[in-house]
Every structure is written in structure tokens, then in C-alpha cells.
């Protein structure tokens, strides 16, 4: 019994793995409303490697699996699959409107950096779907 309690105390409680900024959550909520997608969540996942090491993808999804991690952040339900979760712990998603690159979501994930997502002072400059912020 004591060993079981110690194990529970050492196991972190599952809370929000990803944080959406207010701008990002407002953008997601607007898309869900415009498309009348009640019951959908924002699915965030690793979509392969790129010049930054890890690329992230996002989709609106209502097909949740038992192995998915689901939580709510800033009023938006977020779903992450069992493989991507390790790359997304502690990530922040923002919605940016860059005059050069255009508007879109940017993922800043310290966990992806810990999984070999290292780059120099100037960032990657790939202009892809990843955000190379330190």
C-alpha cells in the first residue's frame, strides 16, 4: 500500500500539456464557430522532421482515441496522440500575423528542443510550420 502511494505521488498529474495564447485560442474558437464544428477539438501532432528537427501539424478533429491525451487550455479542447505528447510537453502555441510569412500558428516546444531540436543563435529560418524560438 505504501509503495502504491509513493508511485502515485511520483506520477505527475495530467494537466494542460500545451498552452494556447489568447490570440491562438480566439483563432481556434473563431474557426470552430465559422465552420459550425461543435464537439471538435484542436489536434496537435508531430508531422515529421524538417530543418528545425520536428514539424508540428494541427487539425480540427472529433475522433478521439483512448490513447489520446485530451485537456482544455484557454477554453479550447486540445488532443494529442501518444507519440506526439513527448515532443509537446510544455509547448506554447501562438497565432501570429507576420507580414513576410503570413498568418498562422507557431509552436514553441522546449520538449522538441530536448529531443534534438537544437539550432544556433539565428534560428533555422526555414519558413516552415515550426517555430524555432528559444
What are the tens digits of pLDDT across the range 81-124?
999 999 999 999 999 998 888 899 999 988 876 555 343 333 33
What are the tens digits of pLDDT across the range 23-54?
999 999 999 999 999 999 999 999 876 665 78
Going from the C-alpha of 3 to that of each of 8, 10, 12, 22, 124, the distances in angstroms are 9, 11, 16, 41, 46
* Mean pLDDT rounded to a whole number for the chain: 78
What are the tens digits of pLDDT across the range 57-75?
999 999 999 999 999 999 9
In terms of CATH, what superfamily is 15-114? HesB-like domain (2.60.300.12)
Spatial distance between the Cα atoms of 20 and 74, rounded to a whole number of angstroms: 6
State the virtual CA torsion across 35, 37, 43, 47 in degrees, nearest 10: -40
pTM: 0.70
Amino acid at each position: 500500500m505504501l509503495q502504491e502511494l509513493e508511485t502515485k505521488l511520483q506520477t505527475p498529474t495530467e494537466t494542460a500539456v500545451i498552452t494556447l495564447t489568447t490570440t491562438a485560442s480566439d483563432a481556434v474558437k473563431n474557426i470552430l464557430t465559422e465552420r459550425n464544428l461543435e464537439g471538435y477539438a484542436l489536434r496537435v501532432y508531430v508531422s515529421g522532421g524538417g530543418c528545425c528537427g520536428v514539424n508540428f501539424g494541427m487539425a480540427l478533429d472529433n475522433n478521439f482515441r483512448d490513447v489520446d491525451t485530451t485537456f482544455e487550455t484557454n477554453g479550447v479542447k486540445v488532443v494529442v496522440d501518444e507519440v506526439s505528447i513527448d515532443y509537446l510537453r510544455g509547448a506554447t502555441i501562438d497565432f501570429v500575423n507576420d507580414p513576410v510569412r503570413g498568418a498562422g500558428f507557431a509552436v514553441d516546444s522546449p520538449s522538441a528542443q530536448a529531443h534534438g531540436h537544437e539550432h544556433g543563435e539565428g534560428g533555422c529560418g526555414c519558413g516552415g510550420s515550426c517555430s524555432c524560438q528559444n
